[in-house]
Structure 1
Amino acid sequence: MYANILWFDQPRTATELAAVDFARANRINPAVAEVPGLLDYYELRRADGSGMVIGIAETEEALHAVRAAVLATELLPGEDPALLPGPDRVENIPVLTHHDRDGIYAMGTPS
């Protein structure tokens, strides 16, 4: 299992966040919905609009497929690329353990 973390370190305005929310709902979510191996993702956002997105996938290849699916999308009418600058940092990291209500699962030693 692998995690993909996208950091948005800078504060974002209400207009930028509205653009991000529109892109996620109308372009990104549909693009990644059919990518095999994507298990889940979480968006964390501070009051100033900074934050991160954490995606969880079965394999590192699935994370690459998610990225490719997102990058293959075209902006929708009305989307302004200036309002969608992308993350400040991106990293793929092996998941060492996973804990849910059923227990803790060791995922293996990172390579």
Structure 2
Amino acid sequence: MYAHLVWFDQPRNATELAAVDFARTHRIEPAVATVPGLLDFYELRRADGSGVVIGIAETEEALHAVRAAILATDLLPGEDPALLPGADRVEICPVLTHRDRAAIYAQGALS
């Protein structure tokens, strides 16, 4: 398993965050929905709008395919590229340890 960490270090205002949320919902999520090997993603956002997106995939190649799928999309009508400056840092790391607590709960091992 591999994790793709995408940092947005700069604070973002409400207009920028609305543009990001629109892009994620209407363009990015549909583009990556059929990429094989993508397991999940998490978006963490601070009160000032900075944050990190963590993508989890079966292989490093799947993460590269996710990136390619996103970059292959065209902006939708009304999207302003000035409001979507892109990430400040990107890194791919192997996942060394993982514990699926939801599956453990489902099996009744934890209560």
Deviation of 1:44 after TM superposition, in Å, equals 0.2
Query: In 1, distance between residues paired with 2:86 and 2:25?
Result: 16
Question: Following superposition, which runs of at least 4 residues in structure 1 exceed 4 angstroms of deviation?
Answer: none
| Matched residue type, 1:34 | T
In the alignment of these two chains, the number of paired residues is 103
Query: In 2, distance between residues paired with 1:4 and 1:55?
Result: 5
Higher normalized helix content (fraction of residues): 2
The residue correspondences of 1:1-111 to structure 2 (distance < 5 A) are 1-101=1-101, 102=104
Unaligned runs of 5+ in 1: 104-111
What root-mean-square deviation, in Å, do the aligned CA atoms of Structure 1 and Structure 2 show? 1.0
Query: In 2, distance between residues paired with 1:35 and 1:85?
Result: 24
* TM-score, length-scaled by structure 1: 0.91
| Matched residue type, 1:33 | A
Query: In 2, distance between residues paired with 1:99 and 1:82?
Result: 39
Query: In 1, distance between residues paired with 2:16 and 2:65?
Result: 26
Higher normalized strand content (fraction of residues): 1
Percent of residue pairs bearing the same amino acid type: 83
| Matched residue type, 1:60 | E
| Matched residue type, 1:39 | L
* TM-score, length-scaled by structure 2: 0.91
Query: In 2, distance between residues paired with 1:80 and 1:11?
Result: 18
Unaligned runs of 5+ in 2: 106-111
Can you list the C-alpha shifts for 1:86-111, whole angstroms capped at 9, x where unaligned? Answer: 110000000001012229xxxxxxxx
Query: In 2, distance between residues paired with 1:38 and 1:44?
Result: 18
